[in-house]
Structure 1
Amino acid sequence: MWLRRSKTRARVHNAPAPKFACSSFKDVHTLLLDDEPAGGGSPGSSLESPTKPSICHRSRSVKTLIRTLSQPAPPEEIRIPGAEQTVVVYFTSLRIVRRTFEDCKAVRSILRDFRVSIDERDLSMDSGFMDELRSILGQSPEKNSKLTLPRVFIGGRYVGGVEEVRRLHESGELKKHVEGLPASEPGTCGACGGYRFILCDECSGSHKYYSEKGGFRSCTLCNENGLVRCPSCSCAPL
């Protein structure tokens, strides 16, 4: 008699799917967990319990930090030693560039309305003022950097050009800057007629003088135009 075999059912065990462990998604998984409420609570409970900052919040914080670090440091204050009691204006009286001439004229007109002591240094009358201004501003003449005019110093401290002076004047701050400075004498200087320069007495304005030993030589007391600063209305050069 044959034994009857019992049919056995093969059991198929579904193995758990392997976890996707790609290293490139590790940070994404962590970031998604940061957005869930702490302690597994409901989304509304995240307002009551402190949680880690969200992705957007951290992104904004990083951008703010980068923006702060990328900002340049404030420039050093530029000053003229010995000019604490006056206003110094570097300008030009030439009309070659109309806009520059008009800017210089406007700044001088604004400053003269305050009736304070002003030392006007005309670069067209003495080229030495150009080298002097470049040295103060820290500009090298070899680089041929563009030097715009006018340039204003109040109480020895650098203020800026025409735009800065106009902005300070419109806001009323310019009056505060010139307060305490000595008042200017009314009227026009009788020695130079307001030009701030007179002819050199040594060479009579020729910028050359004659000596029996060396013949003709350049005068060392005046500039290239045979002029010296008016002793009555101009401050001594730096």
Structure 2
Amino acid sequence: MWPEWLRSPTASPSRVHPRSKSFSCSSFKDIPSILKEPESEPRSPKSPSVFHRVRISTSVLRSWANKNSIPSSNPSFRPPHKGIIIFFTSLRVVRKTYEDCRTVRSILRAYRVPIDERDLSMDSKFLDELQGIMGCNAQNLTLPKVFIGGRHIGGAEEIKRLNESGDLKHIINKLQLVGPTFCDQCVGIRFVLCEECNGSHKIYVEKCGFRTCKSCNINGLIMCPSCCPVLR
């Protein structure tokens, strides 16, 4: 009656696979017992679960991050220089910081003694050095910072207060500093242009092309050869 291609194939008895005798269909009431995990023996403390290991590692990482986020001061560290060191900036981005740095430099220069002035805007190595001394990151640093005789004196407010009370003069006189206070070569800037790259921080080589100058900083400057022996 029906075409051959519309007839549903009928399996012959020989092709029917017998059902496995071990298969048993469970009713809905047996589902909770099937889903229930078999009771296992309690694990020994030496083999903690995966979730326990993840929880421990997370707590360790959090404690390590909190420890590193808090600046650790190192009061025992002292700069090797036994004279007067001032870390400041000549940039006028923040007016108050610039005014404080200029005021402190004027107060210290009035004593006519050699001063190691380290401008962070001229050389980034001064910033790394100051961070190592103070034990904090750049965001928590305030300028200027003054060190006298290897001891941290403070910033603008401390220098103003010591200068008004006369204690600053007493501290500086005890050091008995002797040396030139002004350099004719750098005119007090403490830096000069690099002679190898002429301040470009790049040197041209015929075989390699342009390469970075290793004699100067990123600004193409080097410490003044006239001031450097006196300051260091």
Per-residue deviation at 1:184? 4.0
The whole-number CA distance in structure 2 between the counterparts of 1:193 and 1:209 is: 27
Query: What residue is the counterpart of 1:228 in the other structure?
Result: 222
Per-residue deviation at 1:140? 3.7
The 3-state SS of whatever aligns with 1:231 is coil
Per-residue deviation at 1:156? 1.6
Query: What residue is the counterpart of 1:197 in the other structure?
Result: 191
1:158 maps onto 2:152 in alignment: yes
The whole-number CA distance in structure 2 between the counterparts of 1:117 and 1:200 is: 24
Equivalences, count: 159
1:107 maps onto 2:104 in alignment: yes
Per-residue deviation at 1:235? 5.0
Residues 130-145 of structure 1: matches in 2 within 5 Å? 130-140=127-137, 145=139
Per-residue deviation at 1:214? 2.2
1:118 maps onto 2:115 in alignment: yes
Q: Identity of counterpart residues, as a percentage? A: 55
Query: What residue is the counterpart of 1:61 in the other structure?
Result: none
1:183 maps onto 2:178 in alignment: yes
TM-score (norm 2): 0.63
TM-score (norm 1): 0.61
- After TM superposition, what 4+ stretches of structure 1 lie above 3 angstroms from structure 2? 234-238
Give the letter aligned to residue 125 of structure 1. Answer: M
Is the 1:107–1:162 contact (alpha carbons within 8 Å) kept by the matching residues of 2? yes
The whole-number CA distance in structure 1 between the counterparts of 2:127 and 2:230 is: 16
Which of 196, 201, 204 is matched with 1:207 structurally? 201
The whole-number CA distance in structure 1 between the counterparts of 2:146 and 2:229 is: 15
> Relative to 1, partners in 2 of residues 1:105 and 1:224: Cα closer, same or farther, differing over 3 Å?
same
Per-residue deviation at 1:94? 1.2
